[in-house]
Amino acid sequence: MEKIRNERQSILVVDSGDLFFDHLVNMNPERALKKARLIGRAYRRMDASAINVGDLDLVQGVDFLRSEFSQGLPLISANLLDPSSKSPIFPPFVIREISGMRVAFFGLLPPESGPAISAAIRKANEGKILIRDPVEAGRETLHKLQGQADLVVLLSDLGLSRDQIVAGTIPGIHFILGGHEGRLVVHPTLQGGAYLMQSSARGMYVGKLDLAVENPAFPFEDKEKGESIQAEMRNIERHLQALRRQRERQPSKEVDHGIELWNQRKAKLQEKLASSSRESPIKRNLFDWSLVPLEMPLPEDEEVQRWIGEARINVD
Selection from 26-35, 165-174, 272-281, 307-316 with the highest mean pLDDT: 165-174
pLDDT at 229 over 80: no
pLDDT, one tens digit per residue, over 76-125 is 999 999 999 999 999 999 999 998 899 999 999 999 888 888 999 999 99
% of the chain residues with pLDDT over 70: 93
Which region among 9-13, 92-96, 134-138, 276-280 has the lowest average model confidence (pLDDT)? 276-280
DSSP codes, 2-33: HHHHHH-S----EE-S--S----TT--HHHHH
Task: Starting at the earlier edge strand, list the strands of the sheet with 205-212.
Answer: 205-212, 285-293, 220-222
pLDDT at 245 over 60: yes
pLDDT at 129 over 80: yes
Mean pLDDT of 261-283: 72
**The predicted structure's pLDDT at residue 5:** 83
Check residues 43 and 4 and name the one with the higher pLDDT: 43
Cα-flanking dihedrals φ and ψ of residue 229, to 5°? -65, -45
The DSSP element (H or E) to which 134 belongs, if any, is helix 134-145
**The predicted structure's pLDDT at residue 197:** 93
Packing angle of the helix pair 225-249, 253-278 (nearest 10 deg): 160
Neighbours of 218 (CB within 10 A): 14
Packing angle of the helix pair 62-70, 29-45 (nearest 10 deg): 30
**The predicted structure's pLDDT at residue 25:** 56
Mean pLDDT of 149-165: 95
- DSSP letter at 181 equals T
**The predicted structure's pLDDT at residue 148:** 96
Q: How far apart are CA 241 and CA 25, in angstroms?
A: 55
Res. 75 pLDDT band, cuts 50 70 90: very high
Per the CB < 8 A criterion, the answer to whether 13 and 48 are in contact is yes
Q: How far apart are CA 209 and CA 193, in angstroms?
A: 17
pLDDT at 267 over 60: yes
pLDDT, one tens digit per residue, over 5-62 is 888 778 999 999 999 998 765 678 888 999 999 999 999 999 999 999 999 999 999 9
**The predicted structure's pLDDT at residue 299:** 82
pLDDT at 280 over 60: no
CB-based contacts of 234-237 (< 8 A; 24+ apart in sequence): 236/262, 236/265, 236/266, 236/269, 237/266
Q: How far apart are CA 238 and CA 241, in angstroms?
A: 5
Residue closest to 208 by CA, chosen among 219, 220, 197: 197
pLDDT at 214 over 70: yes
Mean pLDDT of 303-313: 87
**The predicted structure's pLDDT at residue 111:** 93
Packing angle of the helix pair 134-145, 160-169 (nearest 10 deg): 50
